[in-house]
Structure 1
Amino acid sequence: MAGEDKYRSIGESIYDNVGGTQNVEKLINCMTRVRMTIRDESKVDVAGLKKIPGVLGVVQEDTLQVVLGPGVVSKVAQSMVDEVGVDLGAPFPEGAKAHTAKSGHDYKSAKEEVEAKAEQVHSAHKAALKQTWWRAALKHISSIFIPLIPAFVGAGLISGIAGVLGNLQTVGAIGAEWGTFILTMKVINQGLFAFLNVYIGINAAKEFGATQGLGGIIAGLIYLPGVVAPLALPNVFTGKDLVAGSGGVLGVLFAVWIMSYVERWFHKHIPDSLDIIIVPFLTLLVMGLFTIFLVMPAAGWVSNSLVGAINWVLNVGGAFSGFVLGLVFLPMVMLGLHQILTPIHLEMIKDLGMTPLLPILAMAGAGQVGAAIALWIRCRKNKQLTRMIKGALPVGILGVGEPLIYGVSLPLGRPFITACIGGGVGGAVVGAIGGIGATSIGPSGIALIPLIAGGFGKALGYVIGLLAAYLGGFVATYFFGTPKSAMVATAEDGTILEGAAAGTNAQDTSTPEELESEQEHTMAGLNTQTDTHTTVVTDMVAPVEGNLIQLGEVDDETFSQKLLGDGFAVNPEMQTVVAPVDGKIFTISDTKHAFTMISDSGLEVLVHLGIDTVELDGGPFSFSVKVGQHVLAGQQLGLMDLEKIREAGKKDTVITVVTNMDAVSSFGSYTNQHIEVGTKVLSVTGKEH
Structure 2
Amino acid sequence: MTKYQADAEKLLKEIGGKENIAAVSHCATRMRFVLNDPAIANEEAIEDIPSVKGMFTNAGQFQVIIGNDVATFYNDFVSVSGVEGVSKEQSKAYAKQNLNPIQRAVAVLAEIFTPLIPAIIVGGLILGFRNVLEGIQFDSLGGTIVEHSQFWSGVNAFLWLPGEAIFHFLPVGITWSIAKKMGTTQILGIVLGITLVSPQLLNAYGVASTAAADIPFWDFGFAQVDMIGYQAQVIPAMLAGFMLAYLEIFFRKIIPQSISMIFVPLFSLVPTVLAAHVVLGPIGWTIGSWISTVVNAGLTSSISWLFSAVFGFLYAPLVITGLHHMTNAIDMQLIADFGSTNLWPMIALSNIAQGSAVLAIIFLHRGNEKEEQISIPAMISCYLGVTEPAMFGINLKYVYPFVAAMIGSGLAGMFATLMSVRANAIGVGGLPGILAIQAESWVPFIIAMIIAIFIPFGLTVIFRRQGILNKIDPVSPATGAIGAQFETANGTTAVPEKTQFEAATPALKTEKFFAVATGELKEITQVDDPVFSQKMMGDGYAVVPTNDKVFSPVSGTITNIFETKHAIGILSKEGIEVLVHMGLDTVELKGAPFTVHVQEGELVTPSSLIAEMAVEQVEQAGKKTDILVVLTNAEKIDSFSLDKTGLVRPEEQVGQAEVR
The TM-score range, normalised by the shorter chain, is 0.5 to 0.7
Match of 1:441 in 2: 426
Take 1:56 and 1:401, find their aligned partners in 2: how far apart are those partners?
Answer: 22
Q: Does 1:226 align with 2:200?
A: yes
Q: Residue 256 and residue 106 in structure 1: after superposition, are their counterparts in 2 closer, same or farther (change >3 A)?
A: same
Take 2:103 and 2:234, find their aligned partners in 1: how far apart are those partners?
Answer: 19
8 Å contact from structure 1 (residues 242, 297) kept in 2: no
Take 2:390 and 2:474, find their aligned partners in 1: how far apart are those partners?
Answer: 18
Equivalent residue for 1:338, pick from 324, 331, 351: 324
Equivalent residue for 1:60, pick from 46, 57, 62: 57
Take 2:155 and 2:495, find their aligned partners in 1: how far apart are those partners?
Answer: 69
Q: Residue 325 and residue 58 in structure 1: after superposition, are their counterparts in 2 closer, same or farther (change >3 A)?
A: farther
Match of 2:344 in 1: 358
Q: Which has the larger radius of gyration?
A: 1
CA drift of 1:271 comes to: 1.9
Deviations 1:457-497 (A, max 9, x none): 312222211111222222333323462641347xxxx9825
Match of 2:70 in 1: 101
8 Å contact from structure 1 (residues 262, 283) kept in 2: yes
Q: Residue 230 and residue 141 in structure 1: after superposition, are their counterparts in 2 closer, same or farther (change >3 A)?
A: closer
Q: What root-mean-square deviation, in Å, do the aligned CA atoms of Structure 1 and Structure 2 show? A: 4.5
Take 2:93 and 2:457, find their aligned partners in 1: how far apart are those partners?
Answer: 42
Take 2:298 and 2:460, find their aligned partners in 1: how far apart are those partners?
Answer: 29
Q: Residue 432 and residue 234 in structure 1: after superposition, are their counterparts in 2 closer, same or farther (change >3 A)?
A: farther
Match of 2:115 in 1: 147
Match of 1:322 in 2: 308
Match of 1:297 in 2: 282
Alignment of 1:444-523 (within 5 A): 444-452=429-437, 454-455=438-439, 457-480=440-463, 481=468, 483=470, 485-488=472-475, 496=484, 503-504=493-494, 506=496
Deviations 1:500-521 (A, max 9, x none): 99743759xxxxxxxxxxxxxx
CA drift of 1:243 comes to: 3.2
8 Å contact from structure 2 (residues 127, 436) kept in 1: yes
Q: Residue 37 and residue 206 in structure 1: after superposition, are their counterparts in 2 closer, same or farther (change >3 A)?
A: farther
Alignment of 1:73-92 (within 5 A): none
Take 1:113 and 1:187, find their aligned partners in 2: how far apart are those partners?
Answer: 59
Match of 1:675 in 2: none
CA drift of 1:182 comes to: 1.5
Match of 1:618 in 2: none
Equivalent residue for 1:392, pick from 366, 378, 389: 378
With 151-160 and 383-392 compared, the bigger mean Cα shift is at 383-392
Q: Residue 385 and residue 498 in structure 1: after superposition, are their counterparts in 2 closer, same or farther (change >3 A)?
A: farther
8 Å contact from structure 1 (residues 376, 386) kept in 2: yes
Identity %: 23
Secondary structure, counterpart of 2:385 in structure 1:
coil
Equivalent residue for 2:252, pick from 240, 252, 267: 267
Q: Taking structure 2 as the reference length, what is the TM-score of the superposition?
A: 0.57
Take 1:262 and 1:321, find their aligned partners in 2: how far apart are those partners?
Answer: 41
Q: Residue 65 and residue 344 in structure 1: after superposition, are their counterparts in 2 closer, same or farther (change >3 A)?
A: farther
CA drift of 1:314 comes to: 0.4
Q: Residue 396 and residue 487 in structure 1: after superposition, are their counterparts in 2 closer, same or farther (change >3 A)?
A: farther
Deviations 1:232-275 (A, max 9, x none): 2599xx99945321792111112211222211211111122221
Match of 1:676 in 2: none
Match of 1:75 in 2: none
Count of residue pairs brought into register by the alignment: 435
Secondary structure, counterpart of 2:82 in structure 1:
helix
Secondary structure, counterpart of 1:315 in structure 2:
coil
8 Å contact from structure 1 (residues 107, 116) kept in 2: no
Secondary structure, counterpart of 1:60 in structure 2:
strand
CA drift of 1:386 comes to: 5.4
8 Å contact from structure 1 (residues 249, 346) kept in 2: yes
Q: Residue 186 and residue 495 in structure 1: after superposition, are their counterparts in 2 closer, same or farther (change >3 A)?
A: same
Q: Which runs of 5+ in 2 are unaligned?
A: 1-23, 203-213, 477-481, 498-660
Q: Does 1:158 align with 2:126?
A: yes
Match of 2:647 in 1: none
Q: Taking structure 1 as the reference length, what is the TM-score of the superposition?
A: 0.55
CA drift of 1:437 comes to: 2.4
Q: Which runs of 5+ in 1 are unaligned?
A: 1-21, 28-33, 67-79, 81-98, 508-689
Match of 2:168 in 1: 194
8 Å contact from structure 1 (residues 382, 486) kept in 2: no
Secondary structure, counterpart of 1:248 in structure 2:
coil
8 Å contact from structure 2 (residues 123, 166) kept in 1: yes
